Amino acid sequence: MRRYCLAVGLTLSVLSIPTLALPLRWVQGFVENSGQWNVPYRFVYAAPGLTLGVLPNAMVLDAFEQQRLPVEQDRYAVPLSVVHRRGQVVWMEFLGASPAPAVEALTDAVQQLTFFRATPSARVARVFSQVQIRDLYPGITLLLHATSEGPRYDFWLEPNANPQQLRIALRGASSLTLSPDGRELRLWWAAERPIVLHSQLQAYQPVGGHLRPVPVRFAVQKLSDGTPTVHFELGAYDPTLPLVIDPLIFITCIGSGADELAPAVQVLRDGSVLTLLQVEELPFRMTPGAYDTTYNGLTDVVLARFDPTLRRLLFATYLGGSGTELAVGVGVDAEGNLYAIGNTNSPDFPTTVGAFRQQLNGGMDVFVTKLSPTGAALRFSTYIGGNNDDIATTAVVRSDGITVIAGRTRSANYPTTSAAHQRTYAGNWDVFMTGLSNTGASLSFSTFLGGSDNESAWAVAVDPEGYTYLCGETASSNFPNFPVPSSMNPGNRPYDRDYNGGGDAFVAKFAPTSASLRYCTFLGGSAQDYATAIVPRDNGEVWVAGVTRSTNFPITGLTYNNRHSGGQDVFVARFSSSGLGTSALLYSTFLGGSADEEARAILELRNRPVLVGWTRSANFPVTSDAHNRTPLGGQDLFITSFADITATQLEYSTFAGSLRDELPLAAVAADARGNLFIAGQTNSPNLCALSEGVQSGYGGGNSDAFLAKYVFVKLQLIAPRGGERFCAGSQIPFSWQAEGITLAPGDTSRIELSSDGAQWSPIGSTTATVYTWTVPANWVAGRYWARVVHIASGLSDAADSAFTIALPPTITVQPPDSVSLCVGDTLVLSVSAAGDSLSYQWLKDGTPLPGAIAPQLRLPITSLAQAGRYSVRVRGICAPEQTSRATQVLVEERPRILQSPSATTASAGTAVCLTVSVSGGRTRQLQWLKDGVPIPGARDTSYCIPNVTLADSGEYRCVVWNRCGSDTSAPARLSVVSVGELPSPPSVRIHLLPAPDHPQLLRVESSALPARTVLYSLLGQPLRSGRTELALEGIAAGVYVLVVEFPQQRVSFPILLLR
C-alpha cells in the first residue's frame, strides 16, 4: 500500500524523568512505564536536563536546570542535600486527535531494567528503539525513533489522509518566533533562550530516484485562550506520490541534570564489573509553564553491571523507597548472588519476609539487599539499625555470603551480638562493625567500637581465613585500644595505646566468627590523622593508607619518604599479623606534595602496594613513564605503585583526570591481571567527553558518577597511521607496540576499522603485534581509520588520520551504441565512473585522441573522416583499467547539386531526359518538381519522358536533401512543340564499334557538334555521358535511350545492344 509520509524530526539532547532515579540516560531508548513511575506516561525517553513523556494524545517536555545547594555539615553528619531547580514544561498536544489511539512498541526490546521501589515485587521495564502512536488521527500515525542524538518523531500519512488534521498546541511555551520565510520556528523558555529550534524546514516527494521539492512553511495560529498552535502549509504537490515534510530540529540544553556518585565497585569472576550508584530522583512537573522551586534532594541506588570494557550495560536494578537511599558497597558470594549495601530513611524500602528487620527503626538505617546473579529477583532485603541515625560507610561480602558492614551510629540500641567486644554505646558517634548472615535473617556478629567523642569507620576488609580488618578515625582519648597490657604481660599491647591528639587513625583486627578483637591501635601524630583504606596480605599482615597533617607521624627507618611534604599528606603503613607491640609497625611512609592529597583505596598487586586517591599538589611524585606527568587541573586522581614489598621506591605513579575535579571514593578493584577499576565522582565534562562507554558526555548537575578502567599497558598503533592508499585485493600491514606490567603471553589484540572515527568494526585478531589484512574485492571504497584493541584490558589506540581504500574503476554510465552527426555538428560523449583518482583517455578506432582526457568528449565534426568507433579508457590508482563500450559515430554532409538541368525544346512524341549532377549526402533523397509541384516517382538524378506532349511543357527543378540539409537546382524550361514547328535537327549517325553484336564503343557522327551525349536506361537512369563517344564496357545487353543534345535541340534514339 502506498503511504504518504509527513516526517517531522525532533532530536532531544537532554530530558528529565518524573520521580525517576538517573542514570536512565545510559539507556538509549524509550522505557515503558510498567508501574514503576506513578505518572500517566506510556513511555519515557531520558537525557540530562529534560524529560520526554509519551501520552496517547500529547508529548510532554520538561526542560530544567538544577543545582545542589551547599549545606553546612561536619564529617560525621548524615548526608543531606537541598536542590534548587527551575525549568519549563511544554505540552505538545495534538488537537482533535483520536480519543484512544494505540501507543505501542515497534521493535523488540533492546534492554531490560528492574525496579524494586517500595515493594519487594520486581517491576520489569523494557526499553525499545521505536514506538508509535498508531492512528493518532484518521490515517495518521506518529512514529518515534531513538537515536544516539536523541529521540526523533515522524508523522506517517496513509492515502487520502488529510495533513490539515495535524494541529499541535504548544501549552506552556513562553513564546514562539517564526522566521520571515516560515522555515524556522523557535520555542523560547522564559524569554531567555530557545529550548527547541526547528529550522531548515523542507518538503519533498521521491520521484524516480530523485527528490522533488515541495513548498512548505510553518504556520502559527492561536487558540481563543492565546495558546499557540503549529501546522504546515504545503504548496502544490502530486497527491499520488509520497510526501515528506522534514524540518531539521535542534535542542538547546537549558540546564543540567542530577548529581550522582559511585562509591563501590567489584570485579566479578567473568571479568564484568559491578558497581552501586547513588542517583538523584527528579520530581516530575506536569503543569505547563515555567517553575522555580527548592526541595530536599532524594536519591535512590542503582546496582549496575557492565562488561569488562565498560562499553555495555548488562543490567541495571533500581532500589529505593519514598525517602533517601545512599550507596555504600557491593559484593558477590561464591554462588554469584549480588549484594547492595547502603543507607535509607525510607519507611517503605523493599524488604523480604523473614528478613532481620522489616521496618525502619528510626532516623537513617543500614540496608542490605541480596539479589539473584541477574539482578532481577530479591533473595533477601533487610534494615539494620537502632532508633537514631546509623550510617554505613564501608562494606564487604565474604565468599560464604556473610556481609560485613561498618560505619558510625548514634543509636544506643544499635543491635550487637553476645560475643561482641563492646556492647555498650559510648556516646556521640561510635563505630559499629556488623556481620549479617547469608540468609539475611540474623546477625552473625555485631559490636560497637568507640569512646566518648566521635569516631567513624572508613574501610573494612576480610582475609581468606575470615578475619575482619577495620580502619577509620577517632577523636576519643578513651577509644578502646586492645589488648590491654598487664603487669604480668606488659608486651601484650597494641602498637600505640595513647591518643596522640588532633584526631588519630585507628586500625583493628577482629576474629572470623565473632566481633571479638585481636588488636586495636591508634596511629598518628600530634595533628589530624585518619585511615581511609585497608587491605590484608595473605600472611595476616595488613596495609593501611590514610591522611596525615602531622609532621611527627610515625615513620619507619627504611622508607620511601620520611619527611612531611606540606598540607595534607598520604601515609602508607604495614602492620604485622599480630599487631602487638611497638614493633608491629613494619613500614610507614609519607607520600605527597606541597598541597593536599588523600588516599581512597589501597591494593596489593604482585607483592606491590598500589594506591589510588586524589591530589591538589602540582609536585605530587610521579615517574618518568607516567601517563600524565603534570597536573591536569582542579583535583586530580593519582595512581601510585611501589616497586616491591619494601616500598622504598616508586615503580609507577601518574596523575589522571581532567581539567576539573575528580574524587575517587573507596571504590577500587582489580581484575586478575591487575587492571584497576576506579569508581567515584566528577564535576568535569572533559573527563566524561573521553568516555567510549555507555554514556559519552557529562550528564550535568554538580557532579556525575564515573567508572574508569586503568590498565598498566602502553599501546601504540604504528601502521597504518593515515594518509596511505590501498586497493581492493591488496594487503594492508598493521603493526603496533604493546608493553606493560599487566600484559601476558598470548594476549589477543583486535584490529578494527571505522569510516567515521566513531563506529568501529572488527576485521581480525591476533596474538602477535603485526597483522596483515587483504582488502576484499567487494569492500566499500572510502576513508577509514584504523584501531587496535588489547582485548584483555580494553585499551585501544587509533590512527590520527584516515587512510583510503580504493577500488578499481567501474564505469557506471556508458556512452551510447551509435551516434549520427553532420559535418559542422559537435560530437558530445560522456561517461560516469566510480573509483579513486580517476583519469580518462578518449580513443578513436583504438587510437588516443590528443587532449581528450575528461569524462566528457566534445569534438567539432569538420570532415567525413571523423566517422569511426569512439571509446574511453578509465584508469584509477587500482588496476585493472576499464574501457567503455565503443560508440559508432556516423558522419555525413549536406548534398549539393553540381550541375543543373539544361533548358530543352522537344517535338511532341519524342523522348526527353532532364539530368542533374549531385555530390555528398550518403543518405540523400531527390525529388523533381514541375512548376513547383512534386512529380510522383521522379526521385533520381535524371527525369525522362519517353513521349512528350504539349502538356509536359513547363519549368522543372530538382531538390536533393538529407538530415544535414538540402539543395535545389536552377530551373530548366522544357518547351514541347508540334511536329514541323522545329527546324530540322542536325543529321546524326550512330556507329557501334567494333561490331553491332560486340559493341565496346558508341560513336556519334553529326552535321553539328553535339553539346552532350547521354545513354539512359529505360527508367531514366543515366549510364554513360560524353560528347561524341561513349564507352559501353560493362553495359549489359538490352534496350536503352541515347540522347544527343545540341544547343537548341535534343535528338533521342532507341538503342538495342546485343552481347
Q: 439: closest CA among 391, 410, 402, 465?
A: 402
- Please state, in angstroms and rounded to a whole number, the distance separating the CA atoms of residues 68 and 82: 6
pLDDT > 90? residue 1047: no
pLDDT tops 80 at residue 46: no
| pLDDT of amino acid 23 | 40
- Split at pLDDT 50, 70, 90, the class of 391 is very high
> For the residues 571-578, what does the mean pLDDT come to?
96
Residue 665 has pLDDT above 80, yes or no: no
One domain for residues 131 and 237: yes
User: Would 682 be classed as within a structural domain?
Assistant: no
Res 15: pLDDT: 27
Instruction: Pick the closest to residue 963 from 817, 816, 821, 865 (CA basis).
Output: 821
Of 59-63, 729-733, 982-986, the range with the highest mean pLDDT is 729-733
Question: Is residue 547 located within the same domain as residue 406?
Answer: no
45 has a pLDDT exceeding 90: no
Residue 98 near residue 137 (C-beta atoms within 8 A): yes
From residue 789, alpha-carbon distances to 449, 690, 1042, 1043 in Å are: 49, 16, 100, 101
Q: How confident is the model at residue 564 (pLDDT cuts 50, 70, 90)?
A: very high
Residue 658's pLDDT band (boundaries 50, 70, 90)?
low
Residues 58 and 141 in one domain: yes
Mean pLDDT in residue range 11-21: 32
Range of lowest pLDDT (376-390, 527-541, 789-803, 821-835): 789-803
- For 150-159, the pLDDT digits (tens) are 677 777 777 7
pLDDT score, position 113 = 81
For residue 854, how many other CB atoms are within 10 A of its CB? 14
Q: Please tell me whether residues 491 and 623 are part of one structural domain.
A: yes
Task: Provide the pLDDT confidence category of residue 988 given band limits of 50, 70 and 90.
Answer: confident
Same domain, 749 and 649: no
CB contact at 8 A, 179 and 248: no
pLDDT at residue 211, rounded to an integer: 64
Q: From CA 44, how far away is CA 339, in angstroms rounded?
A: 28
pLDDT over 80 at 367, yes or no: yes
What per-residue confidence (pLDDT) applies to 674?
Answer: 76
Q: Which among 268-272, 551-555, 792-796 has the top mean pLDDT?
A: 551-555
Most confident option among 111-115, 299-303, 317-321, 923-927 = 923-927
- pLDDT at res. 71: 62
pLDDT in tens, 461-486: 999 999 999 999 999 999 999 998 88
| The predicted structure's pLDDT at residue 738 | 82
The segment with the largest mean pLDDT, out of 33-37, 507-511, 709-713, is 507-511
Which run of H or of E encompasses 52? strand 50-55
36 Rama class: left (phi>0) / alpha (psi -120 to 50) / beta: alpha
pLDDT, average across residues 992-1013: 83
Are 600 and 749 contained in the same domain? no
Mean pLDDT, residues 81-95 taken together: 79
Structural domain includes residue 945: yes
Predicted pLDDT of residue 879: 87
- Helix, strand, coil in percent for the chain, rounding step 5: 0, 50, 45
What whole-number distance in Å separates Cα of residue 994 and Cα of residue 486?
A: 167
What cell numbers appear for 281 in the block? Answer: 530522583
Query: pLDDT confidence of 233, banded at 50, 70, 90?
Result: confident
The mean-pLDDT minimum among 334-343, 688-697, 920-929 falls in 688-697
Grid cell listed for 224: 481563543
User: Does 881 reside within a domain?
Assistant: yes
Confidence of residue 11 (pLDDT cuts 50, 70, 90): very low
CB proximity list for 815: less than 8 A, separation 6 or greater: 829, 830, 831, 870, 871, 872, 884, 885, 887
Using an 8 Å Cβ cutoff, are 367 and 325 in contact? Answer: yes
Per-residue confidence band for 196, with pLDDT thresholds at 50, 70 and 90: low
pLDDT at 302: 84
The whole-number pLDDT of residue 577 equals 95
| 457 plus 397 within the same structural domain | no
pLDDT at position 686 over 60:
no
**Pick from 444, 461, 488: which residue ends a domain?**
444
Cis geometry, peptide bond prior to residue 483 (ω within 30 degrees of 0)? yes
> How far apart are alpha carbons 674 and 709 in whole angstroms?
11
Out of 303-317, 524-538, 917-931, least confident range: 303-317
Mean pLDDT value of segment 540-555: 96
Least confident of 263-267, 403-407, 951-955: 263-267
Give the Cα-Cα-Cα angle 68, 69, 75 (nearest 5 degrees): 100
pLDDT computed for residue 73 by the predictor:
62
Give me the sign of the Cα torsion angle 500, 501, 504, 506. positive
Provide the pLDDT for residue 436: 97
pLDDT of residue 292: 56
With respect to residue 294, please indicate whether it lies within any of the assigned structural domains.
Answer: no
Q: Which residues contact 481 (CB under 8 A, 6 or more apart)?
A: 494, 496, 497, 506, 520, 521, 522
User: Do 413 and 546 share a domain, yes or no?
Assistant: no
Q: Is there a single domain that holds both residue 904 and residue 866?
A: no
β-strand pairing of 443-449 with 140-147: unpaired
pLDDT band at 256 (very low <50, low <70, confident <90, very high): very low
| Domain residue limits at 377 | 324-444
Q: Are residues 841 and 920 in the same domain?
A: no
What is the reported pTM? 0.66
Tens digits of residue pLDDT in 606-631: 889 999 998 999 999 999 988 888 88
Same domain, 529 and 592: yes
- Mean pLDDT of all residues belonging to the chain: 83
Q: Taking residues 757-765, what's their average pLDDT?
A: 89
Give per-residue pLDDT as tens, 794-818.
Answer: 778 888 889 998 888 889 999 999 9
More confident residue, 337 or 226: 337
The predicted pLDDT at position 150 comes to: 64
Amino acid letter at 70?
Answer: P
CA distance 320 to 376: 15
Residue 46 maps to a domain: yes
Could you give the number of structural domains in the chain?
Answer: 7
pLDDT at 820 over 70: yes
Q: How confident is the model over 936-948, as pLDDT tens digits?
A: 999 999 999 989 9
Mark which of 889, 909, 933 sits at the end of a domain.
889
Give CA–CA dist 848/873, Å, rounded: 9
Q: Give the whole-number percent of the chain exceeding pLDDT 70.
A: 84
Reported confidence tier of residue 691, pLDDT bands at 50, 70, 90: very low
Is 649 a domain residue? Answer: yes
> What does the pLDDT read at residue 241?
67
Give the pLDDT mean for 212-240. 82
Would you state the pLDDT for residue 549? 96
Instruction: Give dist(CA 23, CA 277) in Å, integer.
Output: 9
pLDDT-based confidence at residue 843 (cuts at 50, 70, 90): very high
Q: Is the pLDDT of residue 998 over 80?
A: no
Compute CA distances 710 → 678, 714, 742, 794, whole Å.
8, 11, 11, 10
- Would you place residue 351 in the very low, low, confident or very high pLDDT band (cuts 50, 70, 90)? very high
Q: What is the pLDDT of residue 663?
A: 55
Mean pLDDT: which of 153-167, 230-244, 873-887 is highest?
Answer: 873-887
Q: What's the pLDDT score for residue 987?
A: 83
pLDDT at 288: 61
**Looking at the domain assignment, is residue 1052 inside a domain?**
yes
Average pLDDT over residues 342-363: 94
Pairwise pLDDT comparison (704 vs 936), residue with the higher score = 936
Instruction: Indicate if the pLDDT at residue 915 is higher than 70.
Output: yes
The CATH number given to whatever domain includes residue 818 is 2.60.40.10
Which of 889, 906, 922 marks a domain boundary? 889
- Quick one: 879 and 906 in the same domain? no
Q: Let me know if residue 908 belongs to a domain.
A: yes
